[in-house]
Chain A
């Protein structure tokens, strides 16, 4: 499978716990994006990387959220001290900088109880 891969697919956690999600982009894609989607809404941009550099963070990305892409390949998104409002689908997408299209992974559904 050469698409964008995300793990885990589902995560249930207790409020206050930390969680980490992983995204493996399409291998030749140098740009990687994180989005969050809540029920009945379109995805909202959180942050993006070009190679290993994090170039933009949305105001939606509070200081409890941190993302890394240490070697310009896979990326992780960590949420510290989770809150119920963090419950959502977290989507990763990747693109080749020379092409306009972005492709999404299967997403990680987070439920905070």
Chain B
């Protein structure tokens, strides 16, 4: 079965610094999702990537899906305390759009003012 591994597991950065979170899949990705979660709360949809080489940005967050579609990175530029939370990558467990998502274990981000 497909597995997603995120690195690092946790991250502490100074406000204003850039950071990158990686998500590696054991199989080809047919769609890669990035969500943000505040502790104990629901997931907030950030963006979804489908095509190899695709890159999307939202405010100061940029996500890329590599050409081979087995790895994605999430980059935050000039981090702010509001970026703190748990970042989760997710992928469809099937080979298309089954709606059954599997997730990585999450990366906990702390931003120090």
Q: Is B a genuine binding partner of A?
A: no
